[in-house]
Structure 1
Amino acid sequence: MNIAEYIDHTLLKPDANLENILQVCTEAQEFGFAAVCIPPFYVNSAFRALESGKQKVQIATVIGFPLGYSSTAAKVEEVKRALEDGADEIDAVINLCAIKSQSWAHVRNDLDSMIMATRMRGKKIKIILETVLLTPEELEQACTILLELKPDFAKTSTGFNGGGATVEVVRQMGELLQHKIAIKASGGIRNAADARAMIEAGATRIGTSSGIAIVKGENGTAAY
């Protein structure tokens, strides 16, 4: 297992500066990570930094992050701008307020609109479920909608709202999604043992800011 190929090398801190982002891009090239996951503000800078690299690294960014309750129109415009700036992958937060209000038609429309905007540009989208805030019934219903809409990935967590990925939730998501949608485990994954456990449970991407520590077999410190 080349664990680096599973990792989205992540830096989403609100005080991240351009120098930090360029360092993340350099590290992703050096270690062969699958992607960098960075704030939308820096997507075009990352695109320019990575476009001439010998090692292909995908650029992922976040939409409606980290709360998910902005309007569908706003989220779609975020998606469009990110793709215009050079993003390859979109990590979009589900509308948790709509879920808690049992407004499932809104949830579906919100997701469908973002997925369509991404697919029209031939790019990939991951839907962040923020599982720590969902009841078992809400998670099941959300996964039912994802099975219908078929995003490229379902992602466990933002890492910003408490909790994070667990082996149990990765397995549960795999079962609910009938193993038809890839899973990204994210939030609190700090070392190689954690990452391998998530992969063995069914995750095919790992979102972490401890990617270098994981590859080196050390312990990272960041929570997302």
Structure 2
Amino acid sequence: MNLNSYIDHTLLRPDCTTDDIEQLCTEAKEHQFAAVCVPPFFVKLAAELLEDSPVRIATVVGFPMGYASTPAKIEEIKRAIDEGADEIDAVLNICALKAGNINYLTNDIDSMITATHLKGKQIKIILETGLLTMEEVEQAAQICLDKEADFLKTSTGFNGGGATLEMVSFLGRLAGGKAKVKASGGIRTREDALGFIEAGAQRLGTSSGLKLIGAV
């Protein structure tokens, strides 16, 4: 299987440099990965580097905690898209979910999806499943589906563990074709990648993209 088209070639370390992003984009272009996923600070640079490439530009919003105010997240989304982002990976408000404030959570999700779709771009809502009960995962995922998120994404990779085969399969069943599933966090081998795709993932977020395709 050609894994390249499944991979979001990701670099979100807080200490990443311009040289790191340039290398990431060069690798993504050479291997025709689906996208690069970079910090908001580097969206404009990535867009310039990949201007003549089919590789998409993804960035993160409300990352990695999710508890920024909704208006702040919306401004992040608008700025990222204005600077060249094609896809937004946004963390929902985990605190609101845990507090049972479903009205706030719903507005947070709806607002982020609407802001992204109004610009004609795609959004992946990060559930951070490692911090949630299965009931909370289902509740949050259903809101995302009702509001027409493009992807349900498992994890940031920074909190509460990464993707699991069981969770990817569960999200795929919940989505029922209404949204795609992105597995992220802890995907470090080709065997991992193939397992997640078999479980139902249509996109893989990983900093080990070259290893997955056997390029290193």
| Structure 1 gap segments, 5+ residues each | 219-224
After superposition, the C-alpha distances for 1:121-158 in whole angstroms (9 at most, x for unaligned) are: 10000000000000111111111111211111010000
Q: Which residue of 2 aligns with 1:91?
A: 89
Same amino acid, percent of matched pairs: 59
Q: Which residue of 1 aligns with 2:25?
A: 25
Q: Using the TM superposition, give the Cα deviation of residue 18 of structure 1 relative to its aligned residue in structure 2, in angstroms.
A: 0.6
Q: Is the 8 A contact 1:65 1:92 kept in 2?
A: yes
Which of 135, 138, 152 aligns to 2:136? It is 138
Q: Which residue of 1 aligns with 2:208?
A: 210
Distance in 2 of aligned mates of 1:79 and 1:47: 15
Tell me which amino acid in the other structure corresponds to 1:39: P
Q: Which residue of 1 aligns with 2:38?
A: 38
Q: Using the TM superposition, give the Cα deviation of residue 178 of structure 1 relative to its aligned residue in structure 2, in angstroms.
A: 2.3
Tell me which amino acid in the other structure corresponds to 1:92: A
Query: Following superposition of structure 1 onto structure 2, how do residues 72-87 of structure 1 map, counting pairs within 5 Å?
Result: 72-87=70-85
After superposition, the C-alpha distances for 1:164-191 in whole angstroms (9 at most, x for unaligned) are: 0011000011112223210000000001
Does 1:162 pair with 2:160? yes
Distance in 2 of aligned mates of 1:217 and 1:27: 10
Distance in 1 of aligned mates of 2:76 and 2:94: 18
SS at match of 2:8: strand
Q: Using the TM superposition, give the Cα deviation of residue 51 of structure 1 relative to its aligned residue in structure 2, in angstroms.
A: 0.4
Distance in 1 of aligned mates of 2:37 and 2:60: 8
Distance in 2 of aligned mates of 1:45 and 1:184: 24
Q: Is the 8 A contact 2:128 2:160 kept in 1?
A: no
Q: Which residue of 2 aligns with 1:12?
A: 12
Distance in 2 of aligned mates of 1:127 and 1:157: 9
Q: Is the 8 A contact 1:191 1:217 kept in 2?
A: no
Distance in 2 of aligned mates of 1:180 and 1:217: 34
Q: Using the TM superposition, give the Cα deviation of residue 217 of structure 1 relative to its aligned residue in structure 2, in angstroms.
A: 7.3
Q: Is the 8 A contact 2:67 2:94 kept in 1?
A: yes
Q: Which residue of 1 aligns with 2:173?
A: 175
The count of aligned residue pairs is 216
After superposition, the C-alpha distances for 1:45-94 in whole angstroms (9 at most, x for unaligned) are: 11111103xx4100000000000000000000000000000000000001
Moved over 4 A (4+): none
Distance in 1 of aligned mates of 2:181 and 2:168: 7
Give the alignment's TM-score, normalised by structure 1. Answer: 0.94
Superposed CA RMSD in Å reads 1.0
